[in-house]
Amino acid sequence: MEMDDSEPRPLPPELRSLFADGGRGRTLAGGLPEGAVVWPDPTYVQYRTYQRPAFWLSEAPASGALWSRLRAEHPRSGLWPVLLEESVQPWSAGQVAPEAAAEIDNYHVGAFMAEVWADWIDRAAEEQVTMLDPFGGYCPGPADPAPLRGDPDEVADWYAGTLAAQGMPVGLAAVDRGADALAVMGWQGALHHNEWNVPLSAVVRSWEDRFGARLVCMGFNTLELSVAGPPATAEHALHLAAEHWAFCPDAIIQGAGCLEDYADQIRDRHTWSFWWD
């Protein structure tokens, strides 16, 4: 049962086990509902050995208020909350492949985008390239930042409250910033698009900086981000649409159908939803 005590306390042993340094100096106020740490299934990650659990998972669905409290405590606890769809698999089954957050520093967003773009252009039929108009075979690189229209954390709290109504458990990842949870928790939702989740964490980090984005929810093959600074003009939205395509081609290929239509969908929108086939 969740504790009512609001006095900050040292993390319990199971949460300290998520940190490489043992969680020294980390605190959490208000306690947690029932839950347990999740270890990666060694057979799922090709028998790689991990020295600590990947994340903590609540047994019962989490409220938006709990998510917001945990988000607010992140600077002291070092634990970022993520609502988790489809809790039986892969989360509770440990079908995850964690990577160290330090690996994210090795990826440059522009280089990753250019590589994805060039690889797809090499394999695409001529008529398929038209969905990337007006850029076509030319990768425009990352879009410029957008002015914030609200506090990123408050926008994240609002979106978490909306999603929590669906009844999802919450996971806690030991990360310095929310974007790193993709790698540290070992999310595998984009496996058929990109073998590693680390470069995708680098992209979300960049969106945190440029658009006030926050990782709120993960599913088996989905991501939900809140956005405090969405693009306001058609031109800016189109440039960002190209970036979203490199991050998640299925959102356009099996969704809007072309960059221009997708750009209309994300212009002025404070939520970004991605799914991979």
Q: Tell me the pLDDT band of 87, cut-offs 50, 70 and 90.
A: low
Q: Of 164, 12, 181, which is closest to residue 98 (Cα–Cα)? A: 181
Query: Which of 179, 195, 186 has its CA nearest to residue 220?
Result: 186
Domain enclosing residue 115, as ranges: 103-147+228-269
The answer to whether residue 133 is domain-embedded is: yes
Q: Is 245 part of any domain?
A: yes
For the chain, the helix, strand and coil percentages under 3-state DSSP, each to the nearest 5: 40, 15, 45
Is 2 within the bounds of a domain? Answer: no
Q: Over 90: is that where the pLDDT of 192 sits?
A: no
Residue 275: inside a domain: no
Looking at the structure, do residues 196 and 216 belong to the same domain, yes or no?
A: yes
**pLDDT tens per residue, range 115-134:** 999 998 888 877 788 999 99
Q: Is 184 exposed, middle or buried (0-12, 13-18, 19+ CB in 10 A)?
A: buried
Percent of the chain at pLDDT exceeding 90: 74
Residues 261 and 135 in one domain: yes
Pairing, β 9-10 against β 27-28: antiparallel
Give the residue from 210, 226, 242 where a domain finishes. Answer: 226
Task: Give yes or no: residues 94 and 77 share one domain.
Answer: yes
Q: Is the same domain home to 165 and 204?
A: yes
Q: Specify whether 80 is located in the same domain as 173.
A: yes
Final residue of a domain: which of 209, 226, 243? Answer: 226
Number of structural domains found in the chain:
2
pLDDT tens, 137-146?
A: 999 999 999 9
Do 57 and 113 share a domain, yes or no? Answer: no
Q: How confident is the model at residue 2 (pLDDT cuts 50, 70, 90)?
A: very low
Q: Are residues 175 and 219 in the same domain?
A: yes
Q: How confident is the model at residue 45 (pLDDT cuts 50, 70, 90)?
A: low
Helix/strand/coil for 221? coil
